[in-house]
Amino acid sequence: MLRTLLLGLLLVPTVTLAAPVAEELYQSNCVACHGENRLGAMAPALLPESLARLKKTEAVDVISNGRVATQMPGFKDKLSAEQIGQLAGWIYQPAAQTPAWGEAEIRTSQIAFDKTGFQDKPVFNADPMNIFLVVEAGDHHISVLDGDKLEVIHRFPTRFALHGGPKFTEEGRYVFWASRDGWITKYDLWNLKPVAEIRAGLNTRNVAVSSDGKTVMVANYLPHTLVALNADDLSLIKVIPVIGQNGKSSRVSAVYDARPRGSFIAALKDIPEAWEIVYDEAKGGPVYRGLVHDWQYGEGNPERGALPVRIIPLDDILDDFFFDPDYKFIIGASRNAQKGQVVNLAIRRKVGEVDLPGLPHLGSGITWEYQGHTVMATPNLKEALVSVIDMKTWQTVKEIKTLGPGFFLRSHENTPYAWVDVFSGPNRDAMQVIDKRTLELSATLRPEPGKASTHVEFDRYGKYALVSLWEMDGALIIYDAATLKEIKRLPMKKPVGKYNVWNKTRLSSGTSH
């Protein structure tokens, strides 16, 4: 049996010889859940772009034994090891034809849920602005947490593999999120029920919501598009093909709302440009039509305008970026560069550089006041340090050494501490606490020795720090933010991000926006 399994694995790289057989296996066993052309249905898409984070050996295991907490069954009793190896290899091959997902497909996918009986006030007794959404990746659920009582008040299933943080409307009633497969969900947090869904892409990075609560912008890897949706019902406003001034198309690695500018800012993965998509020209100033592509001025939605695009030429590709507190600059970095770019949004060009070794996780950057200056800090995905940068001079104030590369850095205006995890390496169980007044490590916590802990978020008052025990049988661990003492644990299935309504809508300097 082992020899047969190894043979199946060896066949993975040479799957082209077995493609017809593998395709037949797919049609017989997989198409009902994963859809025609591997685009996904009730189960996720099986395309190379969608499987980038799953090793082929792991795919073999999933096909053989199924996936815990999903409807994915195991096929080891139905298919031979060789057949499983062929099937696993085939799904990593590009589709025979580039999958299309344009206006027609998006419009057809729209789902409206029954809103009978919805109330215009919360159906729960908790403070609606101190609610957390906790994403549980282990079984694809979200828990709704009362931030005062620190109790779960509701739990519901989501689409497979949410990606990017949920985004709330200003009053905190509605929240939007995306799955990796491109499904966008609008959820009524006051009524604890979904409102609408639509599939805006095949491989999606994240969503942003305009400050006026009217437009949702979706960033896609596949296809290479930005998709604008009506926030009321998620109906399609416009598909914007992402093609640079050099004629090359690009994946979109991130899109965020620049509230004071009345625009969205998008980072492009494959071309050295950032894009500003304007939804309120009264805030951001007129758009000079000569600086944008003509095809981006279609009719669009008359109520939302044409969503024109300002092109921001860059020296290097921008994988992700960070806003300064006034939204005048973006600080960005690429995966291969040692220097970060400081870009002035008003004049649309690079004006400085910052030292950011390794791979900074700017999407997790935060700011605070240090010795009379505003500084930003970001963890590093490759090196064991947190970089602290003066936001006036763009000089490095300090590199704080940690026990390993970190993914999330969080704080709050009402606490002197910033918390950073150790996301990889032998110290993944560590959570390190930095004193923002001295830029020194103040404490190292190990919530559960030997088990990964990650992603801190604070309640709206900065009184509690919530840590994820990132295990299938994990927990939400709640600390007193002043004493660093554990208060309680709530069992959860591989909790990832926690998102507080107040901190997100009021743009707390201690969390990502």
Tokens linked to 390: 């003066």
- In angstroms, the CA 461 to CA 361 distance is 25
Confidence (pLDDT) at 141 = 96
- Band (pLDDT 50/70/90 cuts) for residue 69 is low
Confidence (pLDDT) at 188 = 98
* Beta bridge pairs of residue 154: 144
Confidence (pLDDT) at 304 = 43
100-128+149-313 and 2-91 share a CATH fold: no
Which carries the bigger pLDDT value, residue 394 or residue 362? 394
Question: What's the pLDDT tens digit per position in 141-177?
Answer: 999 999 999 999 999 999 988 988 999 999 999 999 9
* Share of the chain residues as helix, strand and coil, in percent rounded to the nearest 5: 15, 40, 45
Tokens linked to 483: 């004493």
The average pLDDT across 102-117 equals 97
Confidence (pLDDT) at 287 = 63
The average pLDDT across 117-145 equals 97
- pTM more than 0.95: no
* Extents of the domains making up the chain: 2-91, 100-128+149-313, 324-336+357-513
Which carries the bigger pLDDT value, residue 268 or residue 34? 268
CATH code linked to domain 100-128+149-313: 2.140.10.20
The average pLDDT across 13-26 equals 63
Indicate if the pLDDT at residue 18 is higher than 60: no
Which carries the bigger pLDDT value, residue 66 or residue 2? 66
- In angstroms, the CA 257 to CA 167 distance is 10
Indicate if the pLDDT at residue 99 is higher than 60: yes
What is the DSSP code (8-state) at residue 280?
-
Confidence (pLDDT) at 298 = 38
- In angstroms, the CA 458 to CA 416 distance is 13
Q: What is the average pLDDT value for the chain, to the nearest integer? A: 88
- In angstroms, the CA 440 to CA 434 distance is 6
The type of residue at 454 is T
Confidence (pLDDT) at 111 = 98
- Residues 6 or more apart whose CB falls under 8 angstroms from that of 134 comprise 142, 143, 144, 145, 476, 492, 495, 497, 498, 499
Residue spans of beta strands (DSSP E) within 79-224: 111-112, 131-136, 141-146, 151-157, 162-168, 174-179, 183-188, 193-199, 203-209, 215-222
Q: Could you say which of 3.30.70.100, 3.40.640.10, 2.140.10.20, 1.10.3260.10 is the CATH number of the domain covering 324-336+357-513? A: 2.140.10.20
CATH code linked to domain 2-91: 1.10.760.10
The average pLDDT across 365-369 equals 95
Residue 303 Rama label (left phi>0; alpha psi -120 to 50; beta)? alpha
The type of residue at 282 is A
Confidence (pLDDT) at 66 = 82
Residue 417's nearest CA partner among 429, 407, 432, 405 is 432
Rounded to the nearest 10 degrees, the angle between the axes of helix 81-91 and helix 19-29 is 100
Confidence (pLDDT) at 412 = 98
Confidence (pLDDT) at 21 = 84
Indicate if the pLDDT at residue 9 is higher than 70: no
Do 508 and 499 touch, CB atoms closer than 8 A?
Answer: no
Question: What's the pLDDT tens digit per position in 428-483?
Answer: 999 999 999 999 999 999 999 999 999 999 999 999 999 999 999 999 999 999 99
Question: What's the pLDDT tens digit per position in 282-328?
Answer: 887 666 544 444 334 333 344 445 899 999 999 889 888 999 999 99
Confidence (pLDDT) at 157 = 96
Confidence (pLDDT) at 284 = 72
Please give the share of the chain, as a percent, with pLDDT higher than 70: 90
| 3-class secondary-structure state, position 424 | coil
Tokens linked to 312: 């921001």
Indicate if the pLDDT at residue 20 is higher than 70: yes
Residue whose pair of structure tokens reads 């590369």 in the numeric block: 405
Please work out, in degrees rounded to the nearest 5, the angle formed at the alpha carbon of residue 468 by the alpha carbons of 467 and 474: 135
